[in-house]
Structure formats: structure tokens, C-alpha cells
Amino acid sequence: MDRPHYKFWPQRLPRSITVPATSLWHNLKTNAERYPGKAAMVFFGSEISYREFAAQTERLAGTLHALGVKRGDRVVLDMQNCPQLVIAHFAILRANAVVVPVNPMNRAEELKHYILDPDAKVAITTGDLAPELAKASNALDPKDRLAHMIVTQFTDTFDAGVTGDEAPPPAWRDWLLTRHPLPELLDGATMSWTDAMNAGHPPPEHVVGANDMALLPYTSGTTGLPKGCIHNHSSLNHNAFASQIWGLGSSEAVVLAVVPMFHITGVVSMMHTTVLIGGTLIIMPRWDRDVAGRLISRRKVTSWTNIPTMVIDLMASPNFANYDLSSLSYIGGGGAAMPQAVAQRLLEQFGLKYQEGYGLTETSAPSHANPFENPKQQCLGIPYMSTDSRVVDPDTLQEMPIGESGEIITHGPEVFVGYWKRPDATAAAFVEFEGKRFFRTGDMGRMDEDGYFFMTDRLKRMINASGFKVWPAEVELLMFKNPAIQEACVIATKDAYRGESVKAVVVLRPTHKDTTEQQIIDWCRENMAVYKIPRAVQFVDALPKSGSGKVMWRLLQEAESKSD
């Protein structure tokens, strides 16, 4: 039976695609032959061609092989965005091994898990992060420690003397230009990036394909230590090829690479898709609105995958009018809904339709996307190519009627194999539905009559106020329409009468710093149902965000729970 969204399926697109039998490394190898002199990456004005990119990958893969990395071994990759991250990522794949991407904000106590759980013996990192990674390894039992660490400095791939629009901002210069000494690794050895590149070891024969493991990203979930998600080359390749077809991607794409490439969106939708099509990555190591504005203008960026908060921040820059966004043909992202008022401004001012999508670490990033021809705002989109998604009752697993909220479940070739070393969690994460294996996302959503999906909220993130269910994401989207509010996060606060009430943690716009709590509450009273109105408003200078830019609502909720 045809799903409702096929009425809006772009005629130019196939409904499903065949996943290549080749590995992800093959995509780089092919484009190094097709476009040898073309810029694959740009970092503070320094360009790396596809020929040089592939050559460095081969050299590093040879060193990894010489250090004992074998087929299927897991290698930790702990870096901010930089060319070395991309080269190391593909070198690990070229060596027939598995990338374990790690959030560079993690500290030693957290990093222990990313060494122990995947049984990693080799790590690649930057000089600023190496001491913390060494500290984590040194604190483990000798049998569990890293045996080798390859350490790069940011200036290994750009000119420290660069000036002009593409130079690092003054606040970044100490961080980027400092060359750190190699830390001591107990029972192991550290090696500089330069030595690893010049070691002269030949890479092994490349023998992995679609059904070999390629990536082991970790996802936190609601309880316990983070779980590794087993992704084969096939699941990542599916979404890279689907992204190319969906977005009409070509080798002329110029991509602003600011979404972290330890995060599944940065890895698949940005890095692997760009390398697949032979495009150019304009790499930013972290977010800065004015650096982004200058790079979009100077490098004529055509594609920008982002978190909506980045767009909000860029448009709030006092220098925003000086930036030229006319080269952009695609702007979109996920992680949070784009406020309607901001999306409307993008459309009216630049003719850009913000393309929202939805996916998880377990689904290789997008499992849903808005078609360019018929996008809807504040919408997850329709199921991606080769994908079947449903909305079911989380308790009975019966499909919900159109318009009613339930848990989103997803089936498709982009879905992960299971959780590393966690057969119990894997079994709980999947359900058989209409004869197929569906992944339980844990996200609550609804489907409209056109087959488009909308988020109502995380399964565990709901406020029960006197029996009324309040979905925080809905309240946040409404509050974004208040001209005084730059950002808002809605959490639950205990209420002796109602059980729970709504609390809003708010960042005010610089132009509205005199706004009062009562003014926000009064505005909400005029703009939403009475049970959704925040009973308390807390003003803060900034909301806590993860390394990928998502608002960490759980931290705010936990702090509120402790104070009650």
C-alpha cells in the first residue's frame, strides 16, 4: 500500500536506492582520480586537493597498519573539526578498521569509557586534547590502556601567518597556534602527526566492503553509560548517496563544515556526502557567527547544514548586513525545530527555504527529510528514500490514527545493526511490525494527512500539569515568536497543586534586556493555551549546549529537580 507522503514525492527522485557494495574509502579513491587538483578541504585559507587528501590518507593508513591496527579494530578519533580529522577518519577506514568518533568536550573520566568499551588500542587526537586522553588511558588497568596515540597540531594543515578574512579570530589564535608537547602514555607510545605521515609504511590491502563495520558512534540515551551504535559501510553509504540524490548534489558544492564531525550529522550528511560528490569542505573548528559570515561570503558557500541556533546567532550579529549569503542554494538541518519567524525571514530576505530533517545516531543521520518542492515548517519531513516510518502507541505498538501522537519507529537500510556489546539494549530497541524490523526511536511524533511527520517530543520529556500533557518543544516554538526571546528551553518544575508546572529558561535578545518575567508570562497567556503557560521564567546569559549545538535540556531539568 502506498504511504500518504508518496503523493508529495518529487517525481525526480526514486523511492528507494541500491546500496553500493563498496566501502566508504572507495568514494575518496574515485574522486582523487576524477578531480585530483580540486580542493577537497579549505582550512583558514590553506587548501588540500583531492590528490593530496587521498595520498595523506594512504600514508596514515600505512602507519596504522604498522602499529598493529587490523581489520575490524576500533580506533578512537578525538578532534575538533580540522582537515586532520577528515584525513584520519578516512585513513582508519582505508586500514580496514572502525572509526570511534569522540566528542572533544569530554574529560578524562568520560574518555575512559571510549577506550574501554570499544577495546581501543590506538587513538588519534590534537595537541590540546592529548593530555586529557592520555590521563584517561593512564588511569586504566595496564591491559586496557592505549598502546599508541598519534597527535597532530592544528598548524600541521594551515599557515600560522595567514591574514585577512580567512585568518583565525584573535580569540582562537592561542588555541590554534600553540604547539603542545606530546604527553606521556603509560605502557604506550605517542607519535607526532608529521612522523606518522613520514613513516613510509605501505597501507594494507583494502578488503572491507558494504557489510563490514565502519563507524562506532556513541549515543547517551536516558540512562547509563553511552552505547556504541554499530554502523556498517552500507548504512552510511546509503545516506551519503541518498543525500546526493535528494539534494541534487554536484562536485561544484562548497560546504560550510561547522557541524561537528564527531556527530553523526557532521559525519554522514556533511563529510561523507561532500567527499562522495567531490565537493569542497570549508572547515570551521568551532562555531563563531562572524567567521561563518565571512567564509560564506568569501568562499561562495552553496550548502550549509547547521543547527537552527547557529542561524539565529548569525542573524543576530551586528555585522550581519555586511555578509553576502547569495551563493547559498541549500540551508537546513535538524536537532531542533527552526522557529517559524526565523524561517520566514530567511525566505523573505534571501529566498531560502530552510530544509528541516530528522534522524538519530542510530539512523546514520536522516531518516526523514522535507522535499525541496513541498517543505513544511517545524516539520521533520517525510520518510527518506528506502525508508518506512510509522507512529505507534509506545505501549501496545499499534499504529496511531493520523494526527495523534505516538512513538516514531523506522525501518530502512540506514538503520544501525545494533548496540555494541549490548544485546539486551539491541533487543529492546527493535520491534517487528508488519513483518519488518523497525527501530524504536524513543521520540514522540505525529503524522499529518499528507504523510509528513512532526515531533511532539522525546518519549521521556513531557510535563504533566493537572493531567494535561505539555510537550516542551511545542511551547518553545511558540515562545520563539516573542520578539524579546533569543532562545528558550522549557522544563518541568514541581507544583504542590498541579503536580508539575511549566518553567521557561530564557535568553533575552540584547535589545530587550529590560524585559521582565511577568511580561513573558503575560505574552504567553496571549499566545498559548492556559495549561502551557510557564508559571516561572528564569533569565540566563546562555543555554547549555552539547558539542553538536543542541540545547542540553536534561542538565537544566536535573538542576531544577535538585532545587525543588
CA angle 511, 513, 519 (to 5 degrees): 110
Q: How many residues does the chain have?
A: 564
User: Which of 314, 308, 255, 261 shows the shortest CA–CA distance to 286?
Assistant: 261
Report the interhelical angle of 472-479 vs 517-527 (nearest 10°).
Answer: 110
Kindly state the percentage of the chain with pLDDT values over 90.
78
Domains of the chain, earliest start first = 50-208 (3.40.50.980), 461-563 (3.30.300.30)
- Confidence at residue 205, expressed as pLDDT on a 0 to 100 scale: 98
Cell numbers describing residue 408: 516514531
Q: Which one-letter amino acid corresponds to residue 415?
A: V
Report the relative pairing of strands 280-283 and 213-215 from DSSP bridges. unpaired
In contact, 466 and 458? CB cutoff 8 Å = no
SS3 440: strand
Of residues 83 and 309, which shows the higher confidence score? 83
Q: Which one-letter amino acid corresponds to residue 357?
A: G
Cα gap 52→157, rounded to integer Å: 12
User: Which of 138, 115, 126, 123 shows the shortest CA–CA distance to 69?
Assistant: 123
Cα gap 295→284, rounded to integer Å: 9
Torsion of CA 119, 124, 129, 132, to 10 degrees: 30
Q: Which one-letter amino acid corresponds to residue 454?
A: F
Report the interhelical angle of 108-116 vs 130-138 (nearest 10°).
Answer: 70
User: Which of 300, 255, 305 shows the shortest CA–CA distance to 280?
Assistant: 255
Range of weakest confidence among 7-16, 345-354, 438-447, 525-534: 525-534
In contact, 215 and 98? CB cutoff 8 Å = yes
SS3 545: strand
pLDDT beyond 80 at 469: no
Range of weakest confidence among 5-14, 313-322, 336-345, 402-411: 336-345
- Confidence at residue 224, expressed as pLDDT on a 0 to 100 scale: 60
For 449-474, letters b (16+ CB in 10 Å) and e give: eebbbbbbbbbebbbebeeeebbbbb
In contact, 63 and 202? CB cutoff 8 Å = no
SS3 427: helix
pLDDT beyond 70 at 564: no
Q: For 499-554, what is each residue's pLDDT tens digit?
A: 788 999 999 999 999 999 999 999 998 877 787 899 999 999 999 998 778 888 88
Kindly state the percentage of the chain with pLDDT values over 70.
96
Q: For 192-234, what is each residue's pLDDT tens digit?
A: 999 999 999 999 999 999 999 999 999 864 446 789 999 999 9
pLDDT beyond 70 at 323: yes
pTM: 0.85
- Confidence at residue 358, expressed as pLDDT on a 0 to 100 scale: 92
Distances (CA, A) of 527 to 482, 497, 502, 520, 523: 9, 24, 15, 11, 6
* End-to-end Cα, the chain, rounded Å: 51
Average pLDDT, integer, range 52-65: 98
DSSP 210-266: TTSEEE--EE--SSSS-EEEEEEHHHHHHHHHHHHHHTT--TT-EEEE-S-TTSHII
Distances (CA, A) of 39 to 80, 82, 280, 515: 20, 15, 6, 48
- The chain-wide mean pLDDT, for the chain, equals 93
Query: Considering Cα of 193, then 194, then 196, then 202, what sign does the dihedral take?
Result: positive
Q: Which residue has 543521520 as its cell numbers? A: 365
Distances (CA, A) of 164 to 161, 175, 294: 10, 18, 10
